[in-house]
Structure 1
Amino acid sequence: MKLAVNYSPAAEQLVRERKINIDIFKCPDFSRDLIDQAESVKPNYIHFGLNAGRGQMDKVDWNTINELRSRTNTPYVNVHAVAFTKDYPDVDVFTKKPEDTERIVKAVVHDINMVAEQVGMENIILENVICRGEGENMLQPIIDPAALTEIVNQTGCGFLLDTAHARMTSMLLGLDVRKYISSLPLESIKELHITGIQADEKGRLRDSMPMTSEDWDIAAWVVQQIKDGTIPKPWVTALEYGGVGPKFEWRTDKEVLAEQVPMLSDLIAEEAQN
């Protein structure tokens, strides 16, 4: 299992100074210059911004995606399973109607099948997103483990577990995070994302923050299951901290990276030794 971290100039500098040791950078798909820069230091792979469930896969530039995949040897095309409230104005956020869930699942499956026509189903992984509840932008059925399992079973795609997304969803909806994660389609896991959760000045939770003890507890619990063989071994575990652009630069602290990348590396190394 490889260790990755979000590419950032701070992470690059730490790698060059041999203060952190990673296998690969995780890069966004919007800048070839950034990919070139990351590649000058370490191999990198692409995390794509595709959303399955919006009916917009026919607008995707597949030539660019295939070119980036080939250039970086990115093994999987990730898609986020989404059900935005604006796409379902007639549906309550907490709907329990089977027909609503069926409609959402059908939309996501349709889009994944379209992706499969371009890259092959065996090369697709589906990522769990965040549901914040009433007044927010994501419907609850799309984070329901049964719905996500149905999507994976219908399509045959893989699964990308984002522990921060699972923690935030559980905290905001009052779920037991371990039970929630355990109910996800982990038997199909191919990639693992780990990062911290913290509240902003208004108390709103956000991810891609420094890891806290609670975040480490969940990370260690998931890795232990990988060690035990309960969960298949993902090809990569990525620390999703730091990055580029206005959304991430302000929360990219070199000292945090210098401390927490080795901590995750040790956690993964412990798994690898068993």
Structure 2
Amino acid sequence: MALAADGSDVLLELMAAGQVQVDFLKVGPWIGLDRMFDRASQYPILLHLHTPLIGRSIQAELSSIQRLMDQTHPPFVSFHLDVPANRIFRFWKKAGIPLPIFRPKQAARQAIENIRILQTALLLPVAVENQAYHRRTGHNYLVDPVFIGEVIHEAGCHLLLDLGHARVAAAMRGEAVKEYVKQLPLNEVIELHVSGPGIYRGQLRDLHHPLAEADYELLRFTVEHCPNLQVVTLEYYGPAKLLQEQLERLREIVTRG
């Protein structure tokens, strides 16, 4: 099992000093294309795209996605199982408006169609990432394990299971996080994202804090239940000392896993 982390400048400095070692850098267009391509010329890459799979056809974006893949050569590519983060949706999500812009059947159908388009065009495994909804809206179904499982199984793709997102979604749903995780299609998980959520304005949120003991314990539990897991990725952009400490502990877990 491999270990990856966000391809931050701090991580590269630690690696250059020989203080940590990861097997992949996680990158995406948000760090800037020049920086992303420069990292890809020096290190193995995991390409993660924030492109939503619901709300519009992905056909028009295939050429730009293919260009990113040609420059980074990832073993697979991952996308958000979500709707576009436009102004209207952000307002509805923030306000907790209970009416969906996209209804569940429509959303599942479009996600499956877009995943199949990607699989045909890219000729690489495609993974979709579960999201973090911290309040009830008309789009709660996006973090429902039944909805996620339907999309995964119908499309024949993989799951990128973000455990920080899972903790947030489970809290919103009033469920124990391990019970929530066990409902997901764990046989299809090929990558885990780990980061520490935190309380903000009285709710558990996806804040990318340092990992706490509860996060390590959830990771160990999940690793045991994901037989096809390939890589664990730390999502953390904080101080070098905390980044190094977390990567050292994660290396022990993935080595045993």
TM-score normalised to structure 1 length = 0.81
Aligned to 2:107: 104
Q: Is the 8 A contact 1:25 1:42 kept in 2?
A: yes
> SS of 1:105's equivalent?
helix
Q: Are residues 115 and 263 of structure 1, via their aligned partners in 2, closer, same or farther at CA, if it must alter by over 3 Å?
A: same
Candidates 123, 134, 140, aligned match of 2:125: 123
Written as runs of structure 1 = structure 2, the 5 A alignment for 1:160-179 is 160-179=160-179
Q: Is the 8 A contact 1:84 1:139 kept in 2?
A: no
Equivalent position amino acid for 2:36 in 1: I
Aligned to 1:253: 239
Q: Deviation digits for residues 14-37 of structure 1, max 9, x if unmatched?
A: 111111111111111242321244
Aligned to 2:67: 67
Written as runs of structure 1 = structure 2, the 5 A alignment for 1:181-200 is 181-200=181-200
- Residue 59 of structure 1 deviates from its aligned partner by 3.6
Aligned to 1:246: none
Q: Is the 8 A contact 2:6 2:234 kept in 1?
A: yes
Q: Is the 8 A contact 1:53 1:110 kept in 2?
A: no
Distance 1:211 1:13 in 2: 21
Q: Is the 8 A contact 1:126 1:158 kept in 2?
A: yes
Q: Is the 8 A contact 2:196 2:212 kept in 1?
A: yes
Written as runs of structure 1 = structure 2, the 5 A alignment for 1:1-274 is 1-30=1-30, 31-39=32-40, 42-60=43-61, 62-83=62-83, 86=88, 93=98, 100-120=103-123, 123-134=125-136, 139-200=139-200, 202-204=201-203, 205-223=205-223, 225=224, 230-242=225-237, 252-271=238-257
Aligned residues: 247
> SS of 1:48's equivalent?
strand
Distance 1:84 1:174 in 2: 26
- Residue 169 of structure 1 deviates from its aligned partner by 0.7
Q: Is the 8 A contact 1:4 1:239 kept in 2?
A: yes
- Residue 66 of structure 1 deviates from its aligned partner by 1.7
**C-alpha RMSD of matched pairs (Å):** 2.5
Equivalent position amino acid for 2:255 in 1: A
Q: Is the 8 A contact 2:57 2:110 kept in 1?
A: no
Distance 2:103 2:46 in 1: 35
Equivalent position amino acid for 1:256 in 2: L
Aligned to 1:245: none
Equivalent position amino acid for 2:72 in 1: T
